[in-house]
Structure 1
């Protein structure tokens, strides 16, 4: 059963002091986003983030997850298009993560038809959702501080 929360994950790679982020173009709508999905059963948000990351990128090992402070509130209609958890739950939380990749090689699921590795300034302009933009901004700021 789907848990009443969402996760958002941005893969990133750091090479020669430069940071690039992976963003994904959905196959059912023409917009760009991070890896997104809902928790299942009794999963914690970090467990859901790891599973979604594997399902949508094919990457399981050699990935370090960093939980962000960014937590958004999402209308259930924007997430699943219906009141999946009953008519009494209108809003769910979206927990955000960064995922440090060691390679740019990704095996896409059917959920996305393309991905791009981009620097922050280019990636953030392509994202549709404000929650994605905020999470990517936070992740970028944290990584810049880390590498300086």
Structure 2
């Protein structure tokens, strides 16, 4: 399997009508909080990678509804893979963001994370380490809140 030059970020959420909750994951050794994150493989699209990573890291079915977010950032290749594996002229790679709607709070935790928590937006924005995660969760929260205010479905 070849590593593709992009990352994905996935934020699971649950909207119970009264409150929107987001699942955050504590990175094992490092101890910081983030969404589900990982890289593309071979010829995967970002959405395919997001579905695979969600399954591998949290047991989330690819049949769930994934929401593509406009939030996009770039990450230095050395911070992702430790080297210039895609050539010396490839300095940064894109990180594509997604939300995934769940209806239950139980997740299957992978070895990459020590725990997960369901928290509201205010709590999540304080806990997250990476600015890209904060930006993506802000967008996802606004999208969900706007739809909830209109009593419609998120598409």
Answer yes or no: same fold by TM over 0.5. Answer: yes
**TM-score, length basis structure 1:** 0.97
State the match for 1:99 in structure 2. 100
Contact 1:63 1:102 in 2 (8 A): no
Poorly superposed stretches of 4+, deviation over 6 Å: none
Contact 2:77 2:83 in 1 (8 A): yes
Root-mean-square deviation (CA, aligned residues, Å) is 1.0
State the match for 1:141 in structure 2. 142
CA deviation after TM superposition for structure 1 residue 28, in Å: 2.4
Aligned residues: 148
Q: 2:106, 2:145 → 1: CA distance?
A: 23
**TM-score, length basis structure 2:** 0.92
2:20 maps to 1:19? yes
Unaligned runs of 5+ in 1: none
State the match for 1:6 in structure 2. 7
Contact 2:51 2:62 in 1 (8 A): no
Unaligned runs of 5+ in 2: 150-155
CA deviation after TM superposition for structure 1 residue 55, in Å: 0.3
Alignment of 1:1-148 (within 5 A): 1-60=2-61, 62-148=63-149
What is the DSSP-based 3-state SS (H/G/I as helix, E as strand, rest coil) of the residue aligned with 2:115? Answer: strand
1:91-124 deviation line (CA, Å, top 9, x unaligned) = 0000000000111110111000100000000011
CA deviation after TM superposition for structure 1 residue 67, in Å: 0.2
